[in-house]
Amino acid sequence: MTSPYTRGDSYSSEASRKHIQQALAAYGATDVVFSHRGNLSAVAFRGDGRQFRIVMPILQSEGALAIRGDIADSRLHEANARSLERANRKSWHALALAIDAKLGAAAAGIATLESEFLAHVVLPGNHTVLDELEPVIDSAYRSGRRPSFGRPDPSARTEESQVPADFPHLRSVPSPTARRGS
């Protein structure tokens, strides 16, 4: 059984945003901004010489319910609104926990801020690393071919970037199309 705290029910969305802002500020991040457009919310900040933007979908109702004065319709509308608010509270709480974990790893020296938030680094042109790499990764899985990421020869690596021979290697991941055929 989980308590309301672990499910994120006891925090309002605003309390989670405040927690995120305080955690980022405590780490030394600056220019923390929250925004909302359509069904997306975002938090953006600067830290360690980089800009970051995390975008999160927010659930919204499918539109205003036509309330015909019927008490059942009104109760249904209220129940739907409560469900949406609860789901969004959980999302904001989960984001706050994720950011806490990433900042904790960076503060402990286990990782860097950039490595923890790599997908959310804002590149010149205002796109994130994730925006740029998602289609490349999708294409690689569809084709079954390893992307080069701009390297002329993926096997031509410098000595310092080589993975040590005794480092555990993961087996290659089959493409989604190869899995469907099995």
pLDDT digits (tens, 9 = 90+) for 13-69: 999 999 999 999 999 999 999 999 989 999 999 999 999 999 999 987 665 444 455
- Among 54, 44, 33, 48, smallest CA distance to 111 is for 48
| Res 135: pLDDT | 93
Q: Please, which pLDDT band fits residue 154 given cuts at 50, 70 and 90?
A: very low
Mean pLDDT is lowest, of 76-85, 120-129, 163-172, for: 163-172
Q: Residue 149, Cβ neighbours under 10 Å: how many? A: 9
pLDDT at position 175 over 60: no
- Pairwise CA distance, residues 130 & 142, whole Å: 18
Distance of alpha carbon 163 from the chain centroid: 28
The two tokens of residue 128 are 């994130």
CA 85, 86, 88, 89 dihedral sign is positive
Q: Residue 105, Cβ neighbours under 10 Å: how many? A: 15
| Higher-confidence position of 74 and 69 | 74
pLDDT at position 1 over 70: no
The two tokens of residue 35 are 């925004």
- Pairwise CA distance, residues 116 & 100, whole Å: 11
* Averaged confidence pLDDT in the chain: 81
| Res 162: pLDDT | 53
